[in-house]
Amino acid sequence: MSARKCSSCGDTTKSSVPFCSNCGALFPVGDEQEIMRQAIGASFDLKWVIIGALVAIVLQLGLLGGLWSVWGKKILVGEKGRSLLEVNLDSVSPGWGVNTGGTQLRLIVKPDNDGVNTAQTVMSVTFGGVKADRFHVKNLAVVKRDCAFKCANQVKALQIYVECMKPCDPPALADEDKAVKECKKACDAVDNDEKLDAEKKKKAKAGFKCNACETRHRNFVQREWTCNKVCPKQKKSADAEMHRCSMCKKAMPTYEARAKACRATVTACWAFKEDQGRKAPPKMPARSAFKTDAEFTQAMKLHREVVAATQSDNKRAASRERKQLRTRVNVYTPAHPNKVGHVPVKIIFKSGEELVRHQGFFYVDPKNENKRPKIEKQKRILHDPVRTGGFWILLLLSCVFYFMGGFIVGRFSPSLGMKEPLTAGIFAWLAFEVVLFALGAAGSAQMFTMFIGAPAFIGAAMVGASLGERSAEA
């Protein structure tokens, strides 16, 4: 709106008409278009649209920054994390363990589409606020302890086997067998002699020491059974312990390399891949191995099918290995003394994002280590930004800011009507929605700003423009 001073009577006319409201004298105009413009008012001026939108959005973003400094992201983001962050903690396995710590877990995460937040970008893992040790460093100590235990078992198993085989010398067994048979032969002859009565048989057996012979025979049978049945099993056990010890020592450089990389870079501490058994494609036999061309052609066809199947299996195995590196976070639980019950599990990524699973792990008393606990998860009301006072302060004061922007447009723009404040309100609201989208506002907050905030903001801008026009005309 504009105010013009009459050159005839000197009175000021606060209106868009091209004549003086006091004496009726026409104001000087340039051309017919200017006359129509002053008579009915210009319909649209982009400059005032931009000014009104900037007033509203700048004040609104300033308020958002101030509220964010007080409430933090709670005014927009729920406890589940950013709505744009497509990453989730799918499972914790196993879900319980002793509160003394040391339980090895696998946390399966669903990476985001951009591949930013994966198991290979984890910085730390906490259980109920207690930070877990770096996995590969901790795992190296555990593997060394297990390896020492296996190698100690190997020594014990070898000692048991050696002790078992001491009485099993073949020549000694043969001599003992011969002596036992001769002893038994004399005693059996006395038993089979029908001419001797019981008393004489008893005296004859005492002379041949048949009781000692019977004991010697039983001992020999036991010794022979031990050598033929027990010692071979001891040998298998010793071989198995020896294999475990050798395999442990063979794999030790891999664990040491992982621990070294973990000490150098914290993001290399939580993920590793297990060999999925990729196979080398079989080789085609030479032509000379086949009698006819038909057999050779059939063998080539079969070979191509086997190679294709092997390559397909290897691709799937490689895909599973890559998935392990992206999705599987390995961790040992930290000690949480005197804690019995659920604790939240939090993963912090290199990007700064935090992934929280409430009631993620259940601590039990060491006395009940071998007894599976009865875990009852309680339904927990998650934080909703709409329930935060800062969110409603943002909505209410935003309406005031849109009202101010609309009032400025209506008061100072020479145009008439509601096109300018309506367009300015829509532009400012769209800009605000883009900011919310970039900040990752929760779905409930975005729904409120769309279906309640939009009509309230734009309506406030139009009300302000209407009052601004009236003040200009007054």
pLDDT in the model for residue 48: 84
Given a contact cutoff of 8 angstroms between Cβ atoms, the answer to whether 13 and 20 are in contact is yes
Assigned domain for 133 exists: no
Whether the predicted pLDDT of 203 surpasses 80: no
Whether the predicted pLDDT of 301 surpasses 70: yes
- How many CA atoms lie within 13 Å of 408's alpha carbon, on the beta-carbon side? 17
Residues 245 and 310 reside in one and the same domain: no
pLDDT in the model for residue 171: 87
Residues 219 and 307 reside in one and the same domain: no
Smallest CA-to-CA distance from 325 within 270, 284, 259, 279 is with 270
Which of 325, 353, 371 is where one domain is finished? 325
Assigned domain for 114 exists: no
Percent of the chain predicted with pLDDT > 70 = 81
Instruction: Work out the average pLDDT over 399-425.
Output: 84
- The pLDDT confidence band at residue 34, using thresholds 50, 70 and 90, is very low
Residues 198 and 299 reside in one and the same domain: no
The 3-class SS string of 69-135 reads HHHHHHHCCCCCCCCCCCCEEEEEECCEEECCCCCEEEEEEECCCCCCCCHHHEEEEEECCEECCCH
Assigned domain for 153 exists: yes
Provide the sign of the torsion angle of the four alpha carbons 12, 18, 20, 21, taken in this order.
Answer: negative
Residues 194 and 303 reside in one and the same domain: no
Q: Which of 242-256, 266-280, 437-451 has the highest mean pLDDT?
A: 242-256
The 3-class SS string of the chain reads CCEEECCCCCCEEECCCCECCCCCCECCCCCHHHHHHHHHCECCCHHHHHHHHHHHHHHHHHHHHHHHHHHHHHHCCCCCCCCCCCCEEEEEECCEEECCCCCEEEEEEECCCCCCCCHHHEEEEEECCEECCCHHHHHHHHHHHHHHHHHHHHHHHHHHHHHHHHHHCHHHHHHHHHHHHHHHHHHHHHHHCCCCCHHHHHHHHHHHCHHHHHHHHHHHHHHHHHHHHHHHHHHHHHHHHHHHHHHHHHHHHHHHHHHHHHHHCHHHCCCCCCCCCCCCCCCCCCHHHCCCHHHHHHHHHHHHHHHHHHHHHHHHHHHHHHHHHHHEEEEECCCCCCCCEEEEEEEEECCCCEEEEEEEEEEECHHHCCCCCCCCCCCCCCCCHHHCHHHHHHHHHHHHHHHHHHHHHHHHCCECCCHHHHHHHHHHHHHHHHHHHHHCCCHHHHHHHHHHHHHHHHHHHHHHHHHHHHHHHC
Residues 25 and 63 reside in one and the same domain: no
Whether the predicted pLDDT of 248 surpasses 80: yes
Q: For residue 466, what are the contacts with CB-CB under 8 A and spacing of at least 6?
A: 406, 410, 418
Predicted TM-score of the model (pTM): 0.55
Q: Which residue has the higher pLDDT, 173 or 331?
A: 331
pLDDT in the model for residue 41: 47
Instruction: Work out the average pLDDT over 141-165.
Output: 92
Pairing of strands 96-98, 354-364: parallel
Given a contact cutoff of 8 angstroms between Cβ atoms, the answer to whether 74 and 390 are in contact is yes
- The pLDDT confidence band at residue 149, using thresholds 50, 70 and 90, is very high
Number of structural domains (the chain) is: 4
Instruction: Say which residue the tokens 């009202």 belong to.
Output: 403
Residues 221 and 296 reside in one and the same domain: no
Assigned domain for 339 exists: no
User: Mind listing the pLDDT tens digit for each residue in 315-370?
Assistant: 988 888 888 888 899 999 999 988 888 899 999 998 888 888 888 899 998 888 77
Amino acid at 313: D
Mean pLDDT in the chain? Answer: 81
pLDDT in the model for residue 233: 92
Assigned domain for 178 exists: yes
pLDDT in the model for residue 287: 81
User: Mind listing the pLDDT tens digit for each residue in 75-103?
Assistant: 776 554 433 333 467 788 888 899 999 99
- How many CA atoms lie within 13 Å of 428's alpha carbon, on the beta-carbon side? 38
Smallest CA-to-CA distance from 333 within 370, 368, 376, 364 is with 364
Other CB atoms within 10 Å distance of the CB of residue 185: 11
State yes or no: cis peptide before 366, omega within 30 of 0.
Answer: no
Whether the predicted pLDDT of 14 surpasses 70: no
Residues 159 and 262 reside in one and the same domain: yes
Assigned domain for 425 exists: yes
Assigned domain for 357 exists: no
Tokens of 326: 């992206």
- The pLDDT confidence band at residue 381, using thresholds 50, 70 and 90, is low
Range(s) of the domain holding residue 250: 139-268
User: Mind listing the pLDDT tens digit for each residue in 100-144?
Assistant: 999 999 998 887 656 678 888 999 999 998 999 999 999 999 999
Residues 189 and 233 reside in one and the same domain: yes
Amino acid at 433: E
Residues 15 and 48 reside in one and the same domain: no
pLDDT in the model for residue 32: 45
Compute the distance between CA of residue 100 and CA of residue 365 in angstroms, rounded to an integer.
8
Inter-CA distances, 137 with 105, 259, 261, Å: 15, 5, 9
Amino acid at 390: G
Q: Which residue has the higher pLDDT, 451 or 160?
A: 160
Mean pLDDT is lowest, of 188-202, 216-230, 280-294, 323-337, for 188-202
Mean pLDDT is lowest, of 65-74, 383-392, 405-414, for 383-392
Q: Which of 42-46, 224-228, 255-259, 316-320 has the highest mean pLDDT?
A: 255-259
User: Mind listing the pLDDT tens digit for each residue in 256-285?
Assistant: 999 999 999 999 999 988 887 788 888 888
Residues 180 and 298 reside in one and the same domain: no
Q: For residue 141, what are the contacts with CB-CB under 8 A and spacing of at least 6?
A: none
Residues 58 and 151 reside in one and the same domain: no
Instruction: Say which residue the tokens 């700048």 belong to.
Output: 58
Residues 171 and 57 reside in one and the same domain: no
Assigned domain for 199 exists: yes
